[in-house]
Amino acid sequence: MNWEWTPQMRQVRDFLRYFAKTEIRPISRAADVAHEVPISFLKKVKALGISMEPIPASVGRGGDGEGVGEEQDAKRVRQTNRIAVVAAEEMAWGDAAVIITLPGPGLGGPPVSATGTPEQKERLFGVFSDPEPKWGAYALTEPEAGSDAAGIQMTATRTKGGYILNGTKTFITNGARAEWTVTFATVDRSLGRRGQRAFVIEKGQPGLEPGRIFDKMGLRASETSEFSLVDAFVPDENLLGGEAYYEERQAKGFRVAMATFDSTRPLVAAMAVGIARAALEEATDRLTQNAALSLGTPLAEATRARLGQMAAELEMARALVFEAASMADARQPNAKVASMSKAFSGQVAMAICRQAMDLVGSVGALGDSLLEKWYRDIKVFDIFEGTAQVQRIVISRRLFEEAGAER
C-alpha cells in the first residue's frame, strides 16, 4: 500500500480545495433549491478541464504507465486512482451534487475504457472533445433489480445485425442528458449472470422512451432519471467489447458491471468522507463560538469527546478509501477493500452528519443551513453503488474465498 503523497496529488488537493471553497460552495444552496447546476458553471469547469471521471484499475492513462515497456512501467508511480479519491473528497466538501453533475463520461467511462473496442473508445470518448458540456451515463438498476445486479430483466434478443432490447432502467445519474449510456441486458434470463451483455444506447436511439426525472430528498441539484427501451434495435457495433468478448468467457457481462463498482466505490466513499468533513468542520466552528464549551463543565467535556470520536472515525474512513485506491493503482484486486471503504465511509459519514446536527442544535436544521443540506445529501451514500448490506455480503464472500484458498 502506497501512502506517499506525490507532488501531483498535493497540487490536485490544493487547487480543488480552493476551487471548492471559492466556486462550488457559493452556488451550493441555490443549486439545491433550483434542482440544477447553472450551465454557466458547467461550461466553466469544462473549459478548465475539471472532471470526475473514474478510472478502472486495469486501465492506464497518459503519464501513468500507459504505452511504456514493462520495466519502465514498473518504475512509474501509478497514482490515477489516488488522485481521483483526493479530488472526490475535496469536491464533495464543496457540494457532492455539483460534482456528480460535472460533464464527462461519468460511470459509463470505466466499462468503455476497460472493455470497449478501439473503435468504440474513439467514438464514445470523442464526444467529450466538444467544447460544450456533454455527459455519459451507466444504466444497471431496474425497478425490480437494484442490489441484485444478477437479476436484471431487460432483454436483448439476437437479430440480424444486432439485438432488440426491451425493458426499463432507473436511477440513472445524468441519464436524461447523456449522449450515450452503457446499459446492461440479458440474452437469456435463465442463464443469470452468464446471459448478461453491456450495450451502448445513444441519444436519439429509436425505441428509447425517456421516463421521470426524480425529485429526490438529497443531491437535488444532480439529475437522476429513468428510461425504457421498447423494441429498440441496437446494432452490433454498440455491443460493448463485441461478440468475441462474451464468447471468450462466461459471465463477462456481469463482470463488466462489477468491475465498474470496484473502481467507483472508493470514489463514492471519498465523496462521503468529503461531506462528513464539511459537517465536522461546521459543527466545530459553531461550537468554538459557544462560550459554554470553554468553561470545563461536564457537558463541555462530553461535547469535546464526541468531536474527537467523530474526527477519529473520519480518519479511519479516509484510510480505507486510500487503501482501496492504492491497491487499484498497484493493479491489485481491490473488490473487498473497495466494498469495505464504501460500507464503512457511508455509515460513518451519516453518523457524523447526524451528530453534527445534534451538537449544533436547531440552527443547523434551518433551510439556509448547509448542514441541513448535507444531512439530506449523505443518506444516499449508504445506498447507491451498492447498499451497505450488499457491501457486507461482498466482503464476507471474499473472506470465505481467501480462507478456502489458504487451506
What residues act catalytically?
A: 385
Q: Are the beta carbons of 281 and 156 closer than 8 angstroms? A: no
In 3D space, the residue among 241, 255, 203 whose CA is nearest the CA of residue 225 turns out to be 203
202: three-class secondary structure by DSSP? strand
* C-alpha cell, 166: 426491451
Q: Are the beta carbons of 262 and 57 closer than 8 angstroms? A: yes
Q: Are the beta carbons of 140 and 150 closer than 8 angstroms? A: no
The β-bridge partners of 138 are: 182
Q: Are the beta carbons of 56 and 141 closer than 8 angstroms? A: no
Q: What's the CA gap between 98 and 103, in Å, rounded?
A: 10
Q: What's the CA gap between 210 and 208, in Å, rounded?
A: 6
Query: 276: burial class by Cβ within 10 Å (0-12, 13-18, 19+)?
Result: buried
Per DSSP bridges, beta strands 162-173 and 196-202 are unpaired
Q: What's the CA gap between 228 and 210, in Å, rounded?
A: 6
Would you state the torsion angle of the CA atoms of residues 355, 360, 362, 363, taken in this order, to the nearest 10 degrees?
-130
Q: Tell me how many degrees the CA angle 369-20-335 measures, rounded to the nearest 5.
A: 100
Residue that is written with C-alpha cell 436519439 in the block: 204
Q: What's the CA gap between 323 and 2, in Å, rounded?
A: 8
Residue 25 CA, chain-centre distance (Å), reads 20
Q: What's the CA gap between 365 and 306, in Å, rounded?
A: 20
